[in-house]
């Protein structure tokens, strides 16, 4: 059985393409940090990069709702492709054919990845008092 589950952040915005036969394909890269391992030069966690390909309806959804920096969980089959880099060395690329993509970041997350604070509650209006409600001071509550 070839099944891989990864959780990480998108390194760039997804790219949506259409094949000659009209099938939508969405490609993006997910960076997965390694636990307890740091790069000696700059103190950043070491990461593995996975190229992810989603097809058909899943491709449309990923293209519409994902963006650089968003956190995702991807489940799918993995394959390894080797190629020769510009410097002549042989390199390997891990590619995941996505069966399922779970969005772990809110669509409204800002650049910092945080959530916005909820709005402050509104003061009682004259309409609510006119409708039979009486304003109560919080100091009068027994709890």
> Which of 78, 73, 77, 74 has the alpha carbon at shortest distance from 92?
78
DSSP label at residue 86: T
Domain spans in the chain, listed from the N-terminal domain onward: 4-106
pLDDT of residue 112: 39
CA torsion 112-114-115-119 (nearest 10°) is -70
Local confidence pLDDT in tens for the 143 residues of the chain: 899 999 999 999 999 999 999 999 999 999 998 877 665 666 677 888 999 999 999 999 999 999 999 999 999 999 998 989 899 999 888 899 999 999 998 766 544 343 333 444 455 555 545 556 667 676 666 65
Provide the whole-model pTM. 0.66
CA torsion 86-34-67-65 (nearest 10°) is 130
pLDDT of residue 41: 65
Question: C-alpha angle with apex 53: 50 to 55, nearest 5 degrees?
Answer: 160
**Rg over CA atoms, the chain:** 24
Contact 70, 105 (CB under 8 A): yes
Task: Indicate the class that CATH gives domain 4-106.
Answer: mainly beta
């Amino acid at each position: 059985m070839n099944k891989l589950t990864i959780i990480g952040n998108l390194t760039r915005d997804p790219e949506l393409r259409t094949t000659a036969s009209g099938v939508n394909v969405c490609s993006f890269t997910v960076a997965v940090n390694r636990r307890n391992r740091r790069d000696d030069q700059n103190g950043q966690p070491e990461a593995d990069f996975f190229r992810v390909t989603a097809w058909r309806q899943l491709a449309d959804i990923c293209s519409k709702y994902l963006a650089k920096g968003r956190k995702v969980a991807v489940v799918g089959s993995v394959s390894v492709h080797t190629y020769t880099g510009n410097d002549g060395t042989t390199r390997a690329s891990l590619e995941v054919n996505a069966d399922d993509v779970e969005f772990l970041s809110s669509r409204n997350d800002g650049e910092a990845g945080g959530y916005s604070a909820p709005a402050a509650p509104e003061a009682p209006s004259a309409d609510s008092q006119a409708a039979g409600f009486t304003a109560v001071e919080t100091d009068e509550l027994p709890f």
